[in-house]
Amino acid sequence: MERVLIAGGSSGMGLALAERLLHEDCAVTIAGRSSAKLAGAREKLQNAPQLATVAADITQEDQLANMFAQCGPFDHIVCTAADIGGAYQLLPDIDIAVMRKAMDSKLVGPLLLAKYGAPSLPASGSITFTSGIAWCRPAARGSVVAAINGGLNSLTYALAVELAPIRVNAVSPGWVDSPIWEFVAGDAKAGMLEGMAKKLPVGRVGSVGDIADAICFLMRNRFATGSVLHVDGGHRMV
């Protein structure tokens, strides 16, 4: 039975991945900051017997050290955590505190997750991060997120070398219909996603299941490491 830790698995892409892995009889541990969201995830996943949840903030070293001491070992570690909704601002309006919070959640957090999680993995194990289309197709208001995602991709390459033979990869999603859009766009979410769907070669935006599929591929393909897998509906070409 594969043992998988999903940091940020209480909603969106991480929750979709957890659901898929549970259906495949994996042992899944979801880590997140909010006990309420973790409880909600357990309910959505029907309190599956092979599911565990742990309240932990991946930006806090002491919490990560305690989590791996109590919950490991694992075969795979996945990070879908992100707290970047407030980071989409034009340059004159960027709030440094918000920027640092976004960096902590999506760059520092994954780095610490690898630091404390790698010792809990076997040589055949893997770590998978999620970056995003902003790193190569940035738009106005997206400079902070572009920088973070680009940094996370570079971190992926570096860790794939340093942690070998453990495999380290990243999925780079395009626009995906997930809860984060409620923070990014609010009431304009539906219109923005519909507009992007019309532009994309595939004719739709992504689903959280699309990203879960990609993560599973990187977890299990033993010849994939140091890879950034684009799952963006052709967004890079339009």
- Written as one string, the DSSP assignment of 140-161 is TT-HHHHHHHHHHHHHHHHHHH
Phi, psi of 46 (to 5 degrees): 60, 35
pLDDT of residue 97: 93
**% of the chain with per-residue pLDDT over 70:** 97
Residue 69: CB atoms within 10 A of its CB come to 10
* pTM recorded for the entire structure: 0.94
The predicted model gives 209-222 an average pLDDT of: 97
Which DSSP symbol is given to 52? E
Mean of the per-residue pLDDT values of the chain:
94
Q: Which of 25-39, 122-136, 189-203 has the lowest mean pLDDT?
A: 189-203
pLDDT of residue 188: 76
Question: At 215, which CATH number?
Answer: 3.40.50.720
pLDDT of residue 72: 86
Taking CA atoms, 18 is separated from 99, 176, 215, in Å, by 29, 17, 11
pLDDT of residue 101: 94
CB 82 within 8 A of CB 12: no
pLDDT at 60 over 80: yes
**pLDDT tens profile 66-108:** 999 999 899 999 999 988 878 888 999 999 999 999 999 999 9
Count H helices and E strands in the chain, helices first: 9, 7
pLDDT of residue 183: 61
Nearest-angstrom CA–CA distance, 212 and 225: 17
Nearest-angstrom CA–CA distance, 28 and 24: 10
- Domain holding 70, by residue range, is 3-237
Domain count, the chain: 1
The predicted model gives 48-52 an average pLDDT of: 96
pLDDT of residue 191: 86
pLDDT of residue 190: 85
**% of the chain with per-residue pLDDT over 90:** 86
pLDDT at 49 over 70: yes
What residues have CB less than 8 Å from 110, skipping those under 6 apart? 58, 79, 81, 129, 152, 155
CA torsion, points 91, 97, 103, 106, in degrees to nearest 10? -110
pLDDT at 61 over 80: yes
